[in-house]
Amino acid sequence: MNAAASLFDQHTAVRSLGEGRYGAEIDPSWWIVRGPNGGYVAALLVQASKAAVDDASRGLRSLTVHYLRPPTTGPAEIETRVERRGRSLTTVTARLLQEGRVQALAVAAFSKARASEELHHARMPEVPPPEEIEAQSANPMIPMHAHYDERPVIGGGPWTETQGSEALSGGWIRLAEPRPLDDARIVAISDAWVPAVFSCRGVATNGVPTIDLTVHVRASLPDALRTPHDFVLVVFRTREIRDGFLEEDGEIWSREGVLLAQCRQLAVMS
């Protein structure tokens, strides 16, 4: 491994085993409660899928991951299959296995940017810049947060004394070891923030394990950022909890107001 590689690069590295299979190591420093953070697992699947595509000009545009069970610390194998390699878009499926059991599976689409008409109705929230916001101390009970520099600025949450009437939360975030934002990093960030439901007064839960996570990358990375390793603004909202399940919608913005990614997950109230 290159000595200059960040911990994120080291912990999401995959090695070819031949025939579309890749080896990986699940690192315990990405743990949340019962297992590794879902964004970290998704980033591993992205790295293997990108290796299978083997075309740097095609960036991630869509990823959906289903989490079957929590992976454990140690070796894992990721099986990939290029389902279709078209003139402009490549579709890949990937499965993360440990001891022969599928822990997570993904479908990903990769493509170059395409010339088209554009429409920009989404608006970035007006918030103070990250330099004016105090960094959030990492919770030692949740090791994963030590990998991030998090600066809450939207909604309530565990860092505030009061909760609000909405399940709304967000702030500035980047990896603790800043590197240019890429496909794997933005996918990891899409599931790195404290769940929005924790900011809502009157809602009690011990956790919200993710069933599935979808990320749509809406800009070419890292070119869409003026400073490739800058903070990004994340905003997450939950509107409905029913039958023990909730959805969480998210947006990831550059400092300059470019919508970098949208994400949605379905999770279980536990």
pLDDT band at 115 (very low <50, low <70, confident <90, very high): confident
CA 76 to chain centre: 19
Instruction: Give me the pLDDT at residue 33, please.
Output: 82
Instruction: Give me the pLDDT at residue 257, please.
Output: 96
* pLDDT averaged over every residue in the chain: 93
- pLDDT of residue 163 exceeding 70, the answer is no
Give the percent of the chain with pLDDT over 90.
Answer: 81
Residues 6 or more apart whose CB falls under 8 angstroms from that of 133 comprise 151, 152, 153, 171, 172
* Rounded Cα–Cα distance for residues 27 and 31 (Å): 8
Residues 29-66: tens digit of each pLDDT: 999 988 999 999 999 999 999 999 999 999 999 999 99
Instruction: Give me the pLDDT at residue 73, please.
Output: 97
The amino acid at residue 139 is N
The answer to whether 139 touches 145, Cβ cutoff 8 Å, is yes
What's this model's pTM, rounded to 2 decimal places?
A: 0.94
The CATH number of domain 7-112+135-268, selected from 3.30.930.10, 2.40.160.210, 2.40.50.180, 3.40.50.1110 = 2.40.160.210
Residues 192-231: tens digit of each pLDDT: 999 999 888 667 677 899 999 999 999 999 999 989 899 9
* Rounded Cα–Cα distance for residues 235 and 237 (Å): 7
Of 39-53, 137-151, 164-178, 214-228, where does the model show the most confidence? 39-53
Residues 243-260: tens digit of each pLDDT: 999 999 999 999 999 999
